[in-house]
Structure 1
């Protein structure tokens, strides 16, 4: 079995442990992770160290949400017997890889990264940008390369981070004179970025416009009711605009009946379809999707010691994998090392 696993392509992905996950995470990555875990060797990283880059004032929040995010992973269908779930801050090789990579990237390049620029603006840092946050792409490059991952399921807004990872990989390999690190491909889903229910930004915990995977039936109903549609669509008989209409974006993401959705779009555009009819359809779909996830999560939360055992074992396995990559890179760069 071990030989078979090593022949599978490797996936690395994960989430910052700043709060429970939401539907944006599900669309952007979680759905792909569940689908691919039996055909790939998959590592899921609970990125608590990266969460501290803008939460250093509240480390307890980061620590507490390690288990919360792990519960979401398990509740959506991640199988810890085939997917390794591990804690970033407990993998010292990743920190050393980040330190090495910082010597092969410039501050100007980091500031040009579109993902980082958007996140800095969203957090209103101005020029008071935490250095750790600015270097986020380097830390992510360390994560991806540390596991020798070649596929990274991400939302479309994260694609520039994968591009910068590959730049670092190429530069290190040129320096060494042979391929030690592997380039990765971003796996972006059909609907790669889910807007918040307010329609003003991507779904985000910090923006307060998200539907958590653990949302109750009442919370789901309330969120759908306040979803942004077309402000000019005042009566059902009025022609409406589909583009930018959050309800249709969510139907594209979650409604498996593609033909029916296209028919609804055509009807909405010519008039004769009310917003509430659309919202009722969407609410039914989301209730069916999230109810079993919520129930599994509640059951798992009652077995917290089992969840911690999963994290402990996954981190142990990941520590060996990432240390092997670091050792190979240090040898390739000709860095000093004591030989035991």
Structure 2
């Protein structure tokens, strides 16, 4: 099996806000210390809906990369790159399109949803229909086995798994596979070979997932096996030949709890955002003028924190002691709304101060961001090229 690897991307749609930070970037910053991570700017994906305004994508890309760095994404820990700079994405997308049924694309849940939400745009394009397959290629090109997503994105990962499985079924064959696999079994040693065959039978005849897990562990523990023999044993175990493309697993992430300034979801379209690296005076003004419990018309009116957008910010930014102070003070009218907002404001300003400090070198010297991306693209390209060599060979496209 291939080493664990995480891949995730984000469309460059403009400045990022606290919803992006608490929903995605904070998780990325944690994952980069737990797994090898690749994070990419999905600029080709942005073209599927903004094909008529491509000029906005470039500027948004560089701004977003600085926001990533400001949020704590470390180029020494993770690989940062731009999708369109690694052309192998497009090649794998093209080759996968040859075997992907049209019905698979049409049934992706977000396809019809986006058509309805963006009804003012003409999205009856090949690119928009095929974006889930491009997304699958983004994952499969790096043999990434872990994809951090929220529940709404699980169908995309499942679609990717289906595409990988179909590709492996068509092209994961080699001449004399059965004979080569049986020779690989012998290399496990007589005792382990017998156990492997018993577990294989239990899995294939009875669907015993525990037997499958035990057999995989048995293969992993066999240090003397070559990569080719290891792959043959996995394929022989699961009923097909070789894993060429890795079926990714969902790394489920919690939904963002970050509300907007008005209590709705934080979104640029609602005008209720606090941006990353925003000016302190602007943040202060926004927080101090936030909506509160409509029942508190006067300072002396008691309120209910559960009906106040500010309380949602407290849940993210303040501790249990402050929570108790808010609950008691608001319900008894002992504290006013401006007092209630102050701990939240201080916490946001402190969080933003650290982000601005991390971003400053890149803002002052944009070439530093270009260098990070150039290095990241080179690293990503090497991984992508290795996958494409195997894909071309499996499909008979090497012509050597």
TM-score by length of structure 1 reads 0.83
Partner of 1:20: 15
Alignment partner for residue 386 of structure 2, among 298, 301, 324?
324
Q: Secondary structure at the match of 1:196?
A: coil
Which of 274, 279, 287 does residue 211 from structure 1 map onto?
274
- Deviation at 1:30? 0.9
Q: CA deviation at 1:88?
A: 0.5
* 8 Å Cα contact 2:305-2:311 kept in structure 1: no
Q: 1:204 to 1:328 in 2, by over 3 A?
A: farther
Q: How many angstroms does 1:117 deviate by? A: 4.2
Match of 2:248 in 1: 184
Contact 1:199 1:227 (C-alpha < 8 Å) held by counterparts = no
Contact 1:15–1:47, Cα closer than 8 Å, also in 2: yes
Is the counterpart of residue 41 in structure 1 residue 36 in structure 2? yes
> 2:330–2:336: 8 Å Cα contact kept in structure 1?
no
TM-score, normalisation: structure 2:
0.72
- 1:31-89 Cα shifts (integer Å, max 9, x gaps): 12112212311111111111111222222211122221221122222221221111110
Q: What is aligned with 1:336?
A: 397
Note if 1:220 corresponds to 2:215.
no
Match of 1:263 among 321, 324, 340: 324
Q: Tell me the CA shift for residue 153 of structure 1.
A: 2.8
Of the three residues 136, 141, 145, the one matched with 2:140 is: 145
SS at match of 1:242: helix
Deviation at 1:127, TM superposition (A): 6.3
Answer whether contact 1:156 1:193 (CA < 8 A) is retained: no
Q: Output the CA distance in 1 between the equivalents of 2:69 and 2:48.
A: 26
- The structure with more radius of gyration: 2
Unmatched tracts of structure 1, length 5 or more: 1-5
Q: Is the 8 A contact 2:7 2:146 kept in 1?
A: yes
Give the length in aligned residue pairs.
329
Matches of 2:329 and 2:103 in 1, distance apart? 47
2:315 corresponds to which residue? 252
Structure 2 segments unaligned to the other structure (5+ residues): 173-239
